[in-house]
Structure 1
Amino acid sequence: MVTTAIERAVRRVIDDMHANLGQEITIDDMARTAMFSKFHFTRVFREVTGTSPGRFLSALRLQEAKRLLLETDYSVADISSQVGYSSVGTFSSRFKACVGVSPSMFRAMGGFTPEVGREEPPASAGSPPRATLRGRVQLPEDRSPGYCFVGLFPTPVPQGRPVCCAVLKGPGAFELPDAPAGTWYVLVHSVPYGQEHTPTGGGRADVVSVGRYGPVTVHADTLLMPADIVLRPLDALDPPVLTALLDMRTTALEAVAG
């Protein structure tokens, strides 16, 4: 059970991450900010956010890079330095792996991607047939509806290409018909109609809604329970949505439908 004191400590660390994205921040630094031992801090941070401190910091840096690419004229080299990378090549590789497109392409396309891609797990001889995961996305009455991206990811952080995905015209039933065997997380992201350009970093509780289900283990010979996911406002404790696929528009919907 996460206590209010632990959550406050984690928020202090995340605030410090935001304030020092271009600086080296070690686990020891974070633990001191939280006023916990390193071991205890790492454990409670994962409990609160769903991921490790290092992965969370990396996600924040790439989210800031996305913002700078869209809102400034800084070069890719300048941006990589501003968000804590000493090598432009390392930054560009990491950005493409997590966002789905290169930094220059992300800027050229205004933060969108023209198609929805999938990350295919390595095929092996005798691979079992795939399963279908069904469920429903629900939106509280006080939240404005919009397109919903539903993706199956290997971690609780929405980054990189999903192994399965669907874009819904609004909250409701979904089906992921080609889920491979493995352990996955169902991650959902939604913004109101007409606000698809909204940044997807933490703190946009007024606009961005998110939801998570899992971990769920997929077996070809097992009937999967329906995944009922209730969306909630995006919080600063949530890892930012990095995948460019979540910056939705009609062409993305058509790509998934096709």
Structure 2
Amino acid sequence: MDDVIERAVMRVIESMQENHGEPLTIDDMARTAMFSKFHFSRVFQRVTGLSPGRFLSAVRLREAKRLLAVTSLSITNISHQVGYSSVGTFSSRFTQSVGLSPSRYRQLMSITEQDLRDGAARRPEGRTVTVHGTAVSPMAERPVFVGMFPGQILEGRPASYDLIRRPGPFVLREVPEGRWYLLAQSVAESREDAIHYPPNGDNALWIGRHGPIAVGSNGATQRADVRLQPMRSLDPPVLLALRDLLSTWDDGEGRG
């Protein structure tokens, strides 16, 4: 990828992180990148996989997670600090993306495996497909979460998921027809706090993406492998609250 384009996108992401409470517009971001508005939107999507607005929303919600975890600020105050004028809108978007309400996240900081089981227990309508593959990661003894999501950001309930004890084979059952992204995440031992911060080069967070994957109606099993790499600042923030799932896990088999 062209270094000039990547540096320009990084300038914008750094501006988002520093000014997440401000009403940043596409024009503002394009000026920071020193591109035309239309060219900027195209290259930003190409580099990150998300539109600038969608990436900014994810940065704001990641900062909200951090503030809920490390401060005693009220939810109303936090919503304003991360750029929301309506606490109701903030709470709704936070809950949809993170999997817990802001108050519940402050209390638990992680969804439980039962939460994921309950979500997966609602059988999808129509035909489904089993997707299997292998998750590859240098963190050989760390749990890996693998899930099917509608977009390139790890947020909300997965269509199907597996939680494996260490890198290796996984199985995603009952994946509905459609266009999906296979996303995987792992966290270095004793560094679960890293989920609250942008990547800083310490290899605490590892992420993998594969897709889009077209799941058809023929019911045939599909294969999709994923390779995890250190998370970069150019990668969309992880919003789904997987903190405890990736630090302490029972001896059961993977779920899906």
Instruction: Report the TM-score, using the length of structure 1 for normalisation.
Output: 0.90
Unmatched runs of 5 consecutive residues or more in structure 1? none
Matched, 1:217 2:214: yes
Matched, 1:155 2:154: no
Name the amino acid aligned to 1:16: S
Match of 1:33 in 2: 32
Match of 2:18 in 1: 19
What are the within-5 Å matches in structure 2 for residues 29-108 of structure 1? Answer: 29-108=28-107
Question: CA separation of 1:247/1:31 partners in 2, compared to 1, >3 Å: closer, same or farther?
Answer: farther
Q: State the alpha-carbon separation in 1 of the partners of residues 40 and 191 from structure 2.
A: 36
Question: CA separation of 1:149/1:75 partners in 2, compared to 1, >3 Å: closer, same or farther?
Answer: same
**Contact kept in structure 2, 1:159 and 1:241, CA below 8 Å:** yes
Match of 1:244 in 2: 241
Question: CA separation of 1:196/1:57 partners in 2, compared to 1, >3 Å: closer, same or farther?
Answer: same
**Contact kept in structure 2, 1:201 and 1:241, CA below 8 Å:** no
With 94-103 and 185-194 compared, the bigger mean Cα shift is at 185-194
Matched, 1:137 2:128: no
Q: State the alpha-carbon separation in 1 of the partners of residues 164 and 200 from structure 2.
A: 21
2:228 equivalent among 228, 231, 249:
231
Q: 1:7-38: per-residue Cα shift (whole Å, max 9, x none)?
A: 00000000111110110000000001101111
**% identical aligned pairs:** 47
Question: CA separation of 1:78/1:119 partners in 2, compared to 1, >3 Å: closer, same or farther?
Answer: farther
Q: State the alpha-carbon separation in 1 of the partners of residues 196 and 216 from structure 2.
A: 32
Name the amino acid aligned to 2:183: L
1:189 partner SS: strand
User: How many corresponding residue pairs?
Assistant: 251
Q: CA deviation at 1:139?
A: 1.3
**Contact kept in structure 2, 1:147 and 1:192, CA below 8 Å:** no
- RMSD in angstroms over aligned alpha carbons? 2.3
Unmatched runs of 5 consecutive residues or more in structure 2? none
Q: State the alpha-carbon separation in 2 of the partners of residues 243 and 253 from structure 1.
A: 23
Question: CA separation of 1:252/1:9 partners in 2, compared to 1, >3 Å: closer, same or farther?
Answer: farther
Instruction: Report the TM-score, using the length of structure 2 for normalisation.
Output: 0.90
Name the amino acid aligned to 2:163: V
Question: CA separation of 1:235/1:244 partners in 2, compared to 1, >3 Å: closer, same or farther?
Answer: same
Q: CA deviation at 1:152?
A: 0.3
Name the amino acid aligned to 2:154: P
1:187 equivalent among 155, 165, 183:
183
What are the within-5 Å matches in structure 2 for residues 195-214 of structure 1? Answer: 195-199=191-195, 201-206=197-202, 207-214=204-211
